[in-house]
Structure 1
Amino acid sequence: MDQVIARLLEVDKEAAKLVDDAKEELEKIKEAMEGEKLQFKQAYIERAKRRIQLLEKEENEHMDKASAELAEYYNKRQQQLQETYDERHEAWEQTIFDRCLAK
């Protein structure tokens, strides 16, 4: 009978040690998972930042291109208006002068 009780106590100690070991392992796994979770989060944030930078760069390039196209358009238009003025300003002045004298 004493042997049975001694064996039960020994089995109980072994079971308690297994439970403690399992709890320690669980804590290690939780810590490892938290570390991995943090790494995944940081990696995601870095990817998002790179994506944002890429989109900003693309948008800035698009704006620069559109701005250059507008500047070119307005420069050409201004040049056309200047050419029209240079070709016709004397005639316009004469027309205005003649109309002023006609009254």
Structure 2
Amino acid sequence: MRLLYAERADCLQQACRRELAGVLDLPPINTGLDAAAWLPAHWDDRAVSRQLAAAGIEARPLSFYRIARQPPPGLLLGFAALNPAQIETGVAEMVQVLGTLSA
């Protein structure tokens, strides 16, 4: 299973780096089944999450998990349940949504 999840994490990492550079910063994924990704500082991660949900993409805002301090805007991206083709498709759909927000 570790190899399977590592392959999926690598696929997500490469797709985000290739398609969303400058819009979504995805640090290296070393463990876990989800990954935190950072948005531009002036973006509202809750609004971005709602826009993605409207397009059928589930990405929780990192601010959802805050207790006291407001974190930088970001999203929690799951990858473990998706195969590489689904990850590529999801990132391509994210490009469409995030591209409208950065304009």
What TM-score range do you get, normalising by the shorter chain? Answer: under 0.3
Point out which structure has higher relative CO (alpha carbons under 8 A, 6+ apart).
Answer: 2
Flag the structure with higher strand content: 2
The structure number with the bigger radius of gyration is: 1
Flag the structure with higher helix content: 1
TM-score by length of 2: 0.20
